[in-house]
C-alpha cells in the first residue's frame, strides 16, 4: 500500500502528473507528495496553474517546488531533504513536432534531467522508479500491435530518441546500481485539462475560431488514444504492487487504434453535444487534408498483454466517453 509513503512526482503540474497527484492524495492516508515542475510556457501556463489549484483544493499533504530537474543541485537537495520511498518521473519536454524546431530543450529536460534523477537515486535508493516513456519509440514499426519485445532502434524524431535514451539509461543504472525501474510507454494521452498542443485540444481551439484543421497523411493515420484516467490507473497499480523485475517496460494504451477521420467526427459531435460548437457547425468544411508531417508515424497500436498479466489492468475508456468529458471541461474552463 502507498499509505504513509513519501513520493516525488516530477512534472506535477503537467497533464498526467497533476491527475496522478490528485488521485494519490484522494485515495491514500498519510501520503506526502513532493511535486516538482518548472512551469515553462511551452503551452498556456494558466492551464498548469489551474491544475495546481485543483491539487491544492482538497487539502492533503502536497509540497510544490517550482524548479527544473535539469538543475542538479535542486535534485540533490530534494533527495537529501525528503528521503523518498518512490519516484515517478513525468517531467519532460513533450511534442514530436516541437523537437524538430527546438532540440536543445529536449536534451536538457529529457536526457540531462533524467540523468540527474538516476544519479540521485544511485546515492539515495528508493523502492521503485517509475518513468514516462512514449509510444514514439516504436518509430516507423509496421508490425502491429506494438510490443515491448519489438526492436526500437529507429526513432523518427528527437523526442522519440530522448525517450529511448531514458530506457537505456534506466537499464544501465539498474544493471550497475540495482535501481528498480519501470518505464511506461504512453499512447496518445487525452482528456480534460490536457495539453493544448495535442490534436483534440488544438482542433477544438481552431474550430471555435472558424479556422481549418490540418489532417495529416490525408486522414490515413490511426492513433491508440488513451484516456488520462486509464493512464493514472495503470501507474497506481504499478506503484502499489511494485516492480515485477528489477528492470521493466510496459505499454499503456487503449489497444484500439482509431482512424483519424473517425476521431475528428467523434470530437466534433462531442463538442456539439456539450455546447462548445453550434449544432449546425460543418466539420467537413473546416478540414484541410495534407501530407505526412516530419516525425509523425502512420499508426500507433499498443499490445497491453504484459500489463494485464502482471497488474490485472488494461485501458478501456471509449473515445466518445473521453472526448465527451474533455468537451464538458472545455466549456466550463473557457466559459464566457
- Residues that are catalytic: 159
Inter-CA distances, 304 with 129, 210, 307, Å: 20, 39, 5
**Nearest Cα to 185, choosing from 148, 151, 159?**
148
CA 184 – CA 238 distance, rounded (Å)? 10
Q: Taking a C-beta distance cutoff of 8 angstroms, is the pair 235, 129 a contact? A: no
The strand pairing partners of 248, in sequence order, are 182
Name 121's Cβ contacts closer than 8 Å, sequence gap at least 6.
79, 87, 129, 173, 177, 179
Helix (H), strand (E) at residue 262: helix 260-273
CA 17 – CA 28 distance, rounded (Å)? 16
Cα 100 from chain centre: 19
Name 334's Cβ contacts closer than 8 Å, sequence gap at least 6.
none
Inter-CA distances, 160 with 166, 237, 330, Å: 10, 26, 29
Q: Taking a C-beta distance cutoff of 8 angstroms, is the pair 113, 163 a contact? A: no
Q: End-to-end CA distance of the chain: give it in Å, rounded.
A: 43
Give the three cell numbers for residue 236.
Answer: 497506481
Amino acid at each position: 500500500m502507498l499509505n504513509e509513503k513519501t513520493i516525488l512526482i516530477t512534472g506535477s503540474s503537467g497533464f498526467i502528473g497533476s491527475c496522478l497527484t490528485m488521485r494519490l492524495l484522494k485515495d491514500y492516508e498519510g501520503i506526502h507528495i513532493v511535486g516538482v515542475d518548472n512551469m515553462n510556457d511551452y503551452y498556456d501556463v494558466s492551464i498548469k496553474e489551474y491544475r495546481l489549484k485543483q491539487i491544492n483544493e482538497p487539502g492533503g499533504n502536497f509540497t510544490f517546488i517550482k524548479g527544473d530537474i535539469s538543475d542538479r543541485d535542486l535534485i540533490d537537495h530534494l533527495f537529501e531533504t525528503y528521503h523518498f520511498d518512490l519516484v515517478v518521473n513525468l517531467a519532460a519536454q513533450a511534442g514530436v513536432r516541437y523537437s524538430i524546431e527546438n532540440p536543445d530543450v529536449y536534451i536538457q529536460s529529457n536526457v540531462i534531467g533524467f540523468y540527474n534523477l538516476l544519479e540521485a537515486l544511485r546515492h539515495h535508493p528508493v523502492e521503485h522508479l517509475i518513468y514516462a516513456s512514449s509510444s514514439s519509440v516504436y518509430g516507423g514499426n509496421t508490425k502491429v500491435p506494438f510490443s515491448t519485445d519489438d526492436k526500437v532502434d529507429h526513432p523518427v524524431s528527437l523526442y522519440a530518441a530522448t525517450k529511448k535514451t531514458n530506457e537505456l539509461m534506466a537499464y544501465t543504472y539498474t544493471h550497475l546500481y540495482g535501481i528498480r525501474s519501470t518505464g511506461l510507454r504512453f499512447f496518445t494521452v487525452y482528456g480534460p485539462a490536457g495539453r493544448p498542443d495535442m490534436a483534440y485540444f488544438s482542433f477544438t481551439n481552431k474550430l471555435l475560431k472558424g479556422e481549418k484543421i490540418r489532417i495529416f497523411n490525408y486522414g490515413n493515420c490511426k492513433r491508440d488514444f488513451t484516456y488520462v484516467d486509464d493512464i493514472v490507473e495503470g501507474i497506481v497499480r504499478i506503484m502499489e504492487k511494485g516492480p515485477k523485475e528489477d528492470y521493466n517496460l510496459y505499454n499503456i494504451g487503449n489497444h484500439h487504434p482509431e482512424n483519424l477521420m473517425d476521431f475528428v467526427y467523434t470530437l466534433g459531435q462531442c463538442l456539439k453535444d456539450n455546447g462548445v460548437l453550434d449544432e449546425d457547425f460543418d466539420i467537413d468544411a473546416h478540414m484541410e487534408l495534407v501530407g505526412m508531417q516530419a516525425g509523425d508515424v502512420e499508426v500507433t497500436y499498443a499490445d497491453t498483454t504484459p500489463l494485464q498479466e502482471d497488474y490485472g489492468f488494461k485501458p478501456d475508456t471509449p473515445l466518445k466517453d473521453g472526448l465527451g468529458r474533455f468537451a464538458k471541461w472545455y466549456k466550463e474552463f473557457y466559459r464566457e
